[in-house]
Amino acid sequence: MRQAGGPAKPFRCGIVPPYLLARLAEVDDPRFSAAAEAARKSLRVDDPIRSLRLGERRTTALPTLPVDAVPGVATRTISDAGHLERLPGRVVRVEGAPPVADVAVNEAYDGLGDTHELYWSQYLRDSIDGRGLPLDATVHYGREYDNAFWDGERMVFGDGDGEVFNRFTISLSVIAHELTHGVTQYSANLAYQGQSGALNESVSDVFGALVEQYAAGQDVQSASWLIGAGLFTEQVQGQALRSMRAPGTAYDDDVLGKDPQPDSMSGYIETEDDYGGVHLNSGIPNRAFYLVAEAIGGNAWEAAGQIWYDTITGPNLTTTSDFATFAAATATAAVARYGEGSTEHDAVLAGWDGVGLGVGPLQAAS
């Protein structure tokens, strides 16, 4: 059951895993000296948030909506931090205003709109809270800040260091990923720790990919299934931060190392770092979703996406649900919408089996 008093304000959920920034921070190569320093600064910015204990998560009240809000119509505000680490910054574009000269502002504005459009047109969800929440974002946060994050209230984008990372508004999957942390915050509210935290990350990857595919009109076969394509500069041997089709293959670089994500339970990583490996083990449910979508075919945001959406907004998850519980909940959602033994239901069972997670009976959420 959902927690009373509104959703818990989550940790700062950054798109770049801390282990990747930590590796970059230790690089001793003059070609990447600016990137190494940028990574060190980015880690210092994020560390105060990461040091919070789970028990210190506070709740946020539901927002007061604009009196003239129209259901299904986005209300976007983009601000510019001016390379400071203060939020929200100076407002530079509001809903309905024309594009400006700053490409990051326009990419953020469009990305928020694309994300809102998928949730409304496909799932009848009015913004990330389901009640028309205004969508706010800040660009040009800090100097050479190597991350983008959702802080429970707004999207925030760094500009990257220019050696390893480009600007973080460049990838629609990144924008939609971070906004989906807000959707999870207002629905399943999966705790950002261990398997529930990996599910939190995976749900964001799933809908990050689906927003990108929907905006581009890509079906299962033509989509890249990459999260963060375009973030790396040409100096990096890698396609993106993560691959949902093939976790562990997104990059293999002499500076950043090899993508460490496992693609099945046989490679599950036990660690205390990164909140218990939330960015690592998310590769397992990511791969499961891809297998489900592949088996169903067509557009992944339709049946496969609907099942995942029904799961995170339904009654069968708790804040600490693990992979097995989530898998069973997706099977239950598939039966409820498409019927037992349907193509969609069979695809869900096969998808989880494909990552080493047989679907057992669903335990009642409490």
- pLDDT value, residue 47: 60
Domains of the chain: 13-185 (3.10.170.10), 194-353 (1.10.390.10)
What pLDDT shows up at residue 357? Answer: 96
Give me the catalytic one of 107, 144, 163, 178. 178
Q: How many angstroms separate the Cα of 73 from the Cα of each of 63, 96, 115, 124?
A: 17, 11, 12, 11
pLDDT of residue 4: 36
Q: Is 345 a catalytic residue?
A: no
* Catalytic status, residue 279: yes
- 338's tokens: 């498409």
Identify which of 143, 76, 65, 70 has the alpha carbon closest to the alpha carbon of residue 106: 76
Which residue is catalytic, options 163, 279, 294, 302? Answer: 279
Per-residue pLDDT of the chain (366 residues; tens, 9 = 90+): 343 334 444 456 789 998 999 999 998 888 888 899 999 988 888 664 444 333 333 334 445 555 456 788 999 999 999 999 999 999 999 999 999 999 999 999 999 999 999 999 999 999 999 999 999 999 999 999 999 999 889 999 999 999 999 999 999 999 999 999 999 999 999 999 999 999 999 999 999 999 999 999 999 999 999 999 999 999 999 999 999 999 999 999 999 999 999 999 999 999 999 999 999 999 999 999 999 999 999 999 999 999 999 999 999 999 999 999 999 999 999 999 999 999 999 999 999 999 999 887 766 554
Residues 126 and 72 sit within 8 Å (Cβ to Cβ): yes
Backbone angles phi, psi at 340, to 5 degrees: -70, 135
Q: What tokens appear for 343 in the block?
A: 């193509």
CA neighbours closer than 13 Å in the CB half-sphere of residue 181: 27
